Every structure is written in C-alpha cells, then in structure tokens.
Amino acid sequence: MSKIIDVTMPSLGADMTEGTLVEWQAKPGDTLNKGDIIALLETQKGMIDMEVYQQGVITELLLEPVVSVPVGTVMARMSVAGEAARPAAPEASYPVAQAAAIKSPPVTSDQSQQTVIPQPNRPRQGLLASPVVRKLAAEQQLDLSRLSGSGPEGAILLRDLPANGPEANAAGSPDPAQAMRSAIAAAMAKSKREIPHYYLSLEIDITRAQRWLADFNAERGPEERILLLALLLKAVARSLHKYPALNGYYQQQTFTPNSAIHIGNVISLREGGLVVPAIHDVDQLSVEEIMVRLRDMSERSRRGVLRSSELLDASITVSNMGERGSDLLFGVIYPPQVAIIGIGKPRKTMLIKDDQPELAEVVTVSLAADHRVSDGMTGARFLNALANKLQKPEKL
C-alpha cells in the first residue's frame, strides 16, 4: 500500500517567504531516502540543498527551474509507503517550518498556476538565470550572456552579478546582501518584540582546556587540528542535558523541550550577513567529530551550499566571535528557540587561586534566555555546570 504525498517549498526560518528552484537533482522514477537531495534552491540564506524527509519514489516534478515560488508551494509529488506515511515537509521536530507555513498565505490554485508557468522570456537557449537575476539584469541593462555563472550548469545567480550601484538600491532592487539583511532583521525584530530576554555572563577559566588543545594539536597538521570552539560546543551540549528549559522551541504559547541537542552555529559570511547552520546531536559526537562538522560547515557556507535540515531545526544557538571578537556578547535569541550562548574572546589574566595570583586564560560566556520558559537561576546554574565541564577537557 502506498500513497502520494506533496513535496513543498520548505521554510528555512520564520522569516522566509519564498524560495527559488534552481535545479532538480532527481527525476521522476528516482527512489530517494530520507535526507537525500531532491533540488537546489536559492534563498535569502544562500544556496540550499533541499532534502526529502521520507523515503519514496518521485512521481511528478511540477515546477520547471528556474522559478521562484512562495513557501508551501507544491513542487513535486512522491509515492511513499502507506502505513508509515507522514506529512511530506518537515515533521513535528521541525517547528520553524511549521510556524512559517502557518504564517505564509495559503497557496491558492491561481497562485500555483502562476508559479508553474515557465519563465516566458528566457533570453537564449542554454543561459540559466533566476527570475531575480533577470529582473536586476534588465534594470541595470546588463548582458547576462557576458557574465559567468557559478550555479549548476553555469546558472547565473545573484552572487554573480556585479555589485549593485546606488541607483539600483534606491529603486528597491533586492540585492543579495540586502535580502539577507532583511531576513536577519525580520527574525531579530520578532525576537526583540516577543521574547522577554534575560542576560547572564560568567568568566570561565579555560587554562586547562587550552593546554589540552595545545597538546592535542602539537603533533598534528592543520587539517587535523581542533579549535577551542569544538571543545566548547561539546561542553555546552553535555551541560544542557540537565537544563532542558534552555533547549527547545517556544510556539503558540507553549514550550516544547527538544530531546536532541542540535546546536546552531553563527557563521559570518565574508561578503556580510550570517548563516546559522546546525550540528545535530552534538552531545553524541566526539570533539574530533564536532570539529569535522565545523570544518565542513564553514567550507560549505563559504561556497554557499548548506542543507535544508541544517537551517531548520537548531534547538539552541552558539555565537562564537573567536580571538578577534569582543570580551562579552549580548545575544538575541533566534525564535522559536529559547536561548543563545555567546562566547567572548579568550584572554590571559591573573586569577586568584588559593589566595595566590596565577596566570590564567579565561573566556566570558554569556547566556540570553527566554523568561517565559526559565529563570535566571536556571541559566546561572547552567553556566556554572559548563565551567565545571571545561575543567576536565580530557573527559569531554
């Protein structure tokens, strides 16, 4: 027994309203497993590999790339096993997508008909470009055939266009940096409007952690070294077990703790803006494995291709500014999460231990958390637990 399900344009954040199908990565008749990639999308958050959320066979592809459609638009259909059939798009563990899907206008038949009409004005055969790119190119009188595209089969993407002049911005053109800035602004404004934040910080002695890292890295080449962040993430994940009120999602006046610990990592992009892909089940990974994920993620963020699940389901966020950052970071919670941890820059200082001054290396870790879900004492206990974990780096 099998049944047909819809595969829809996913929402990769409460602020995303539409996405562009750049290319199908599968065809009718293909069997896909959960997590396989069905399409390449271009969104405000950059290029995304869109995954499917259950196993099945593609029966129909309903859109012809390159086309922009609202979140929730049916893009394809799949035949899945009947008994196990669940909703096509992100299930219960992906609340961000659900929240946004509810918020976004329902797709009427009129709209969906519009969206499947192929772009009428393809300038010439073999030249691929998204509608946004075509619109901008027309406004700026650019000859697309003279640009080289960095997308699949040379498709011209927003990032391939020359920087927009001030005229273009004045005319309200959606240049990519501005699109990402708007997306960040929408999420952060919602957070500041709705979430009663409280803020705490604790100076944590990382002398032992740094010594452990120096020992670990001493004999290793750069491709095998571990950064302090990997150790910190592991310590955060392990400390969170006892503080479920900091790890989960607040939606429709209800907090739901998440049993899994998916940590979103703030990655600043060179061209401005940021993305926050998640590492899944951080508490289950070794420090080395966390470092492998971090490397992979930073490389893919730079090339601009992240996976849809990475942007969907972080249950808490860590923002690490590193050595070039500030001493203390006051985070803004990314809804529907309920906490964000900020890591300041490591610095050397004198600590008093057993009434004796001692040279030590410290980092100030901050917590911004949601007062609808937890109180300051909970947050403070969490920070102290984290500090304790970091005194035994070899056990992480």
217 in contact with another protein (CB under 8 A) = yes
The DSSP code sequence of 193-243 is HH--EEEEEEEEE-HHHHHHHHHHHHTS-GGG---HHHHHHHHHHHHHTT-
8 A C-beta contact, residue 149 and residue 155: yes
Give, for 26, the enclosing helix (H) or strand (E). none
The DSSP code sequence of 252-302 is TTEEEE-SS--EEE-EE-TTS-EE-PEETTGGGS-HHHHHHHHHHHHHHHH
Residue type, 104: S
State the nearest-atom distance from the C-beta of 71 to another protein, in Å. Answer: 31
| CA 288 – CA 296 distance, rounded (Å) | 12
214 in contact with another protein (CB under 8 A) = yes
Q: Which stretch binds another protein (CB under 8 A): 76-84, 102-110, 215-223, 379-387?
A: 215-223
Among the listed residues 35, 105, 162, 322, the single contact to another protein using CB under 8 A: 322
Among the listed residues 242, 302, 348, 371, the single contact to another protein using CB under 8 A: 302
- Please, which residue, 77 or 293, has the CB nearer to another protein? 293
8 A C-beta contact, residue 22 and residue 130: yes
Q: Which tokens in the block code for residue 170? A: 């004045």
For CA atoms 189, 194, 200, 204, the dihedral sign is: negative
Q: How many CA atoms lie within 13 A of 281 on its CB side?
A: 4
Among the listed residues 142, 227, 260, 380, the single contact to another protein using CB under 8 A: 227
268 in contact with another protein (CB under 8 A) = yes
Q: What is the largest CA-CA distance in the chain?
A: 78
Paired residues of 368 in beta bridges: 199, 340
Among the listed residues 29, 172, 221, 357, the single contact to another protein using CB under 8 A: 221
261 in contact with another protein (CB under 8 A) = no
State the nearest-atom distance from the C-beta of 361 to another protein, in Å. Answer: 14
State the nearest-atom distance from the C-beta of 217 to another protein, in Å. Answer: 4
Q: Which stretch binds another protein (CB under 8 A): 91-99, 180-188, 249-257, 293-301?
A: 293-301
323 in contact with another protein (CB under 8 A) = yes
Q: Which stretch binds another protein (CB under 8 A): 21-29, 30-38, 137-145, 211-219?
A: 211-219
Q: Which residues fall within 8 angstroms of residue 215, CB to CB, at 6 or more apart? A: none
- Please, which residue, 225 or 347, has the CB nearer to another protein? 225
12 closest CA partner among 54, 92, 52, 71: 71
- Please, which residue, 103 or 302, has the CB nearer to another protein? 302
241 in contact with another protein (CB under 8 A) = no
Q: Which stretch binds another protein (CB under 8 A): 63-71, 102-110, 224-232, 379-387?
A: 224-232
Q: Which stretch binds another protein (CB under 8 A): 179-187, 282-290, 292-300, 334-342?
A: 292-300
Among the listed residues 29, 166, 172, 222, the single contact to another protein using CB under 8 A: 222
Binding site for another protein (CB under 8 A): 214, 217-218, 221-223, 225, 227-229, 268, 270, 294-295, 298-299, 302, 322-324
